[in-house]
Structure 1
Amino acid sequence: MKLLEPGTPLDGFVIEACLHSGGMAHIYRVHYANGARDPGFPMVMKIPRMTAGDGAENIVSFEVEHQLLQVLTGPHVPRFVAAGDLHNVPYLVMEYVQGQTLDHWLPEPGEPHTPLTPATLASLGAAMAHAVHSLHRQNTCHLDLKPANVLIKPDGSAVLLDFGLSCHAHYPDLLAEELRKAVGSPAWIAPEQVVGVRGDPRSDVFAIGVMLYELATGELPFGAPKTDGGLRQRLWMDPRPPRALRPDLPPWLQEVILRCLETEAAQRYPSAAHLALDLTNPDQITVTARGERTVGTGFKEHFKRWLKAAGKHYQPSPMPSHQIEEVPILMVAVPHHDVSDATLYSLRQAVARSLGIRPGARLAVVTVISTGDTSTTHSDKSETSVHRRHLTQLKQWAQPLDLAGHQTSYHVLESNDVAQALVRYAEGNHVSMIVMGAATHGLQMQRFVATVPIKVAMDAPCTVILVKQHTPFEQLQG
């Protein structure tokens, strides 16, 4: 379809300026004719290209996006407004989100790369991971994440764009049925997508790793392959370590990027929520040899991987929401005053039981201190020592736990409202379950006083397990 002129009416909308003219669609600013039915936010109209030379994927991707935009919700996707008839003029009208795509932080072709600080890279990566996790919880994998499809709003949060190549577990996968080939943008596509496996949320984690690599170094980790053979190389080949291209990058950041880019999905972050938690707490990332190395993988190792990939059979992925439920973030609230050893013991036992039935779970050990605990300090050093003391206590509490296979981090929050601090932490980090001590007040008292556990149980976005002291202190001594 040819470009529409500004002022053209279409199904009750008026076309404004063309914002983007791409290989698959044109995007225009639009408004309602005569000011009718103002939605309260600016709008854009997306019209797919349908000339004789355009491929079938343009129409199929339009149908997919039409289907998904109507069911996806939340702050990380544009709001759906209307759609046009495929037999007349197909179009999608949606919210126009203010912000800049990740292309803003990348150099134009031929221009030198301006290095971003590790803090900026971590912030951008965490914003992407939060948005992607929100999508996965709705049983949708984006599968075409790239800088042009990630928009960063002025508040720092991310909005995902262009769902034409996406896959929803509850709807037929039209692209897989119609095209029967690897679908995605070659520079960012995950290894399992290359061989036709769609619907694994860890494919989007891989794409985040590609974007972080590019933002950090100015180069694509696998280049921009043009052939199927070039695409298949990522089934067994690692990219050069980012620190080989940019020595000032901290090892923790390379650890994150290369973990996202593992050829086998099982070796990546198990969910985007796990990735976001690492990027918001870089000081607690465990750096392995992966984060330290500056030399790429040798030929011998790549050859062994090639042999393995040649005979590997990829299995369809489970539903994204089910997959992320298998690797939850478990949070335990550990009190630091007015608590008995028996209660601490009971909390530890409850956590051990919960981790025992969730092999891939991550544990966040949290305590909340009053802002008054540090208000009397006279230097940053003394305030830091207060936090260190509480962190040490948390690690001592967790020491008897068998944490093999469970990534664990420790967090000291400051607030005069303990319940609110715990709920906000759970919301911000996609916690699946909170374990905390039950109230010690009697039932009569709880009718008049909303205790911290009751407040958390009422407001938390996830399951809350309240643990009562069940082991007498005398038995502990024995």
Structure 2
Amino acid sequence: MAKAKLEAGMTFGGFVLKQLLHTGGMAQLWQVTPEHSSEVLLMKVPVLAEGEDPATIVGFEMEQMIMPRLKGPHVPRFIANGDFAVQPFIVMEKIDGESLLPKLTSLPLPVQEVVEIGRKVAVALDALHHQRVVHLDIKPSNIMMRSTGEAVLVDFGLSRHLDLPDLVAEEFRLPYGTAPYMAPEQILGQRHDFRSDFFALGALLYFFATGERPFGDPPRLKGLKRRLWWDPPPPRMLNRDIPLWLQEVILRCLEVNASRRYPNAQQLLFDLNNPSEVKLTKRAHKERPDGFFVRLKRKSEPFESLIDHPKDASEGLAQAPIIAVAIDLATMSPELSEQVRQTVMRIVERSKEVRVACLNVLRLKRLALDSTLDEEGNNKHISRIVQLKDWARPLEVPQAQVSFHVLEATDPAEAILEYARENTVDHIVMGARDNSTMRKLLGSVSARVASEAPCTVTVVRDRKDQDASGG
């Protein structure tokens, strides 16, 4: 199980902790070396303290799934993963450069430096998108510069790989991202559009060129949605040194409707490399924000009508049935557990493209405060993920087609139903509670799910219970 406190000199997973480099809200970064080598590497370890946001765990799982699939100079070279059952971590190369974060102390930057940053990030995004990944958290601290000049994109905890389960979207309803850089469609829950990264890059270039964030740093969803109808001051209004062509590029990246942004990173890069070829529109000549009545008209329109739903970015998404398996780890007998597993295996055999989502509900108390740790000091959320993975291992479902979710709720049946509704589940499989007095008094979770679910439900009974009841 994950260690409560890490210290220099510790060894696990074949790596020696040398120096703590950074502690953030969701993870620590350690300089490490392999046990039998002097190579300097970087280890990322999630922060798993009492009361920690479950998004920390989900984001780290997402990053563990994505990073081994990434290649090239624009992402850190992946070395190893650590299992949640022992100690979760990601080991990667240590980039011999620094992030763009220190640039914030000297804004606005010279125009040519802003353009050069834009070029390098566009090249990195092009490489990432060709690997079918939308980053969804482009910001200064997540862009590093190698000593050889290439931009390196880091931190894939909020990213979307079009060939992998999207754990963030499946488990959380609120949008996740960094407020100053989030694209409108991302705020509305759309996480599969490559052009969301161009919006974030546009916000970053605006910030670096003017010293002002185009949309501020709103702390609430209401403030985030304001950017769907309230346009920022044109960059040249804040800095007259910005050329017309660069204002055209920045404002095109910041278009609310993704169909009006650059269709791909190659075209964005072309404009940044060829200023004289940039076609100037009214965006380039804009001198002030839109007037009150123009903004009011936009605000009166449904937000969703402003968002383009692209075919190009979603064609690769797997169109496959989703099977949710609700597993009660606390009370399910070994016999019933195996019967549920056999039922799922029969369903999987009928569809090679099936997605299996293994669910467990961590039941919360209605009145008292809940601890995130069990009696032995282990994180409950992680313990149950480990148990779910152990349960699913005999299914032999490819990693890209199975995911694990611990739902925290006071009402288990409602949690399962909400998951099924929000994720368009096609089939729910679950075990029935045994014939106990508790079942008669409290009712059956499976009975409620079966009666209210928007999809097919298979309730598996323990054969011993069936024999005892004569059924």
TM-score, with structure 2 as normaliser = 0.64
SS in 2 for 1:144: coil
**Greater relative contact order structure (CA < 8 Å, 6+ sep):** 2
| Structure 2 partner of 1:240 | 233
SS in 2 for 1:187: helix
Shift of 1:293: 2.0
| Structure 2 partner of 1:102 | 100
Shift of 1:115: 3.3
| Structure 2 partner of 1:205 | 198
| Structure 2 partner of 1:392 | none
Q: Aligned partners of 1:210 and 1:280: how far apart in 2?
A: 19
**Residues 313 and 237 (structure 1), Cα distance of their counterparts in 2 relative to 1, 3 Å cut:** closer
After TM superposition, the structure 1 stretch with the greater mean CA deviation from structure 2, 280-289 or 269-278, is: 280-289
Q: 1:33 aligns with which of 32, 35, 45?
A: 35
**1:44 matched to 2:42:** yes
> 1:431-442 maps to which residues of 2 (within 5 A)?
none
Shift of 1:313: 7.9
Q: 1:93 aligns with which of 91, 94, 106?
A: 91
SS in 1 for 2:301: helix
Q: Aligned partners of 1:318 and 1:47: how far apart in 2?
A: 37
Q: Aligned partners of 2:273 and 2:315: how far apart in 1?
A: 25
Q: 2:61 aligns with which of 60, 63, 71?
A: 63
Q: Aligned partners of 1:234 and 1:313: how far apart in 2?
A: 11
| Structure 1 partner of 2:332 | none
Shift of 1:311: 5.7
Shift of 1:169: 0.8
> 1:393-472 maps to which residues of 2 (within 5 A)?
none
| Structure 1 partner of 2:154 | 161
Q: Aligned partners of 1:216 and 1:3: how far apart in 2?
A: 42
Instruction: List alignment gaps of at least 5 residues for structure 1.
Output: 108-112, 324-478
The residue type paired with residue 61 of structure 2 is E
> 1:54-203 maps to which residues of 2 (within 5 A)?
54-107=52-105, 113-203=106-196
Q: 1:260 aligns with which of 206, 228, 253?
A: 253
SS in 1 for 2:302: helix
**Residues 3 and 242 (structure 1), Cα distance of their counterparts in 2 relative to 1, 3 Å cut:** farther
Q: Aligned partners of 1:249 and 1:127: how far apart in 2?
A: 19
| Contact 1:17–1:28 (Cα < 8 Å) also in 2 | yes
Which whole-Å deviations, capped at 9, do the CAs of 1:12-46 have from their partners, x for residues lacking one? 211011111111100001001232xx6xx531000
| Contact 1:145–1:204 (Cα < 8 Å) also in 2 | yes
Q: Aligned partners of 1:320 and 1:284: how far apart in 2?
A: 27
| Structure 2 partner of 1:272 | 265
Shift of 1:53: 2.0
TM-score, with structure 1 as normaliser = 0.63
SS in 2 for 1:252: helix
Q: Aligned partners of 2:206 and 2:153: how far apart in 1?
A: 19
Which whole-Å deviations, capped at 9, do the CAs of 1:166-222 have from their partners, x for residues lacking one? 001111111000112211111111000111010100000000001101111111110
The residue type paired with residue 28 of structure 1 is W
Shift of 1:291: 1.2
Which whole-Å deviations, capped at 9, do the CAs of 1:72-98 have from their partners, x for residues lacking one? 111111111111111221000011111
Which whole-Å deviations, capped at 9, do the CAs of 1:127-166 have from their partners, x for residues lacking one? 0011011111111100011100001122321000000000
| Contact 1:255–1:287 (Cα < 8 Å) also in 2 | yes
**Residues 120 and 313 (structure 1), Cα distance of their counterparts in 2 relative to 1, 3 Å cut:** closer
Shift of 1:114: 4.1
| Structure 2 partner of 1:7 | 9
The residue type paired with residue 281 of structure 1 is N
| Contact 2:257–2:308 (Cα < 8 Å) also in 1 | no
Q: 1:53 aligns with which of 35, 48, 51?
A: 51
- Give the number of equivalent residue pairs: 314
| Contact 1:16–1:30 (Cα < 8 Å) also in 2 | yes
**Residues 223 and 56 (structure 1), Cα distance of their counterparts in 2 relative to 1, 3 Å cut:** same
| Contact 1:238–1:262 (Cα < 8 Å) also in 2 | no
| Structure 2 partner of 1:396 | none
State the Cα RMSD in Å: 1.8
| Structure 2 partner of 1:18 | 20
SS in 2 for 1:283: helix
SS in 2 for 1:224: coil
Q: Aligned partners of 2:92 and 2:177: how far apart in 1?
A: 23
| Structure 2 partner of 1:293 | 286
Q: Aligned partners of 1:253 and 1:272: how far apart in 2?
A: 16
Shift of 1:252: 0.9
| Structure 2 partner of 1:224 | 217
Shift of 1:319: 5.8
Q: Aligned partners of 1:52 and 1:124: how far apart in 2?
A: 40
**Percent of residue pairs identical:** 43
Q: Aligned partners of 1:170 and 1:144: how far apart in 2?
A: 19
| Contact 2:96–2:146 (Cα < 8 Å) also in 1 | yes
> 1:365-376 maps to which residues of 2 (within 5 A)?
none
Instruction: List alignment gaps of at least 5 residues for structure 2.
Output: 317-471
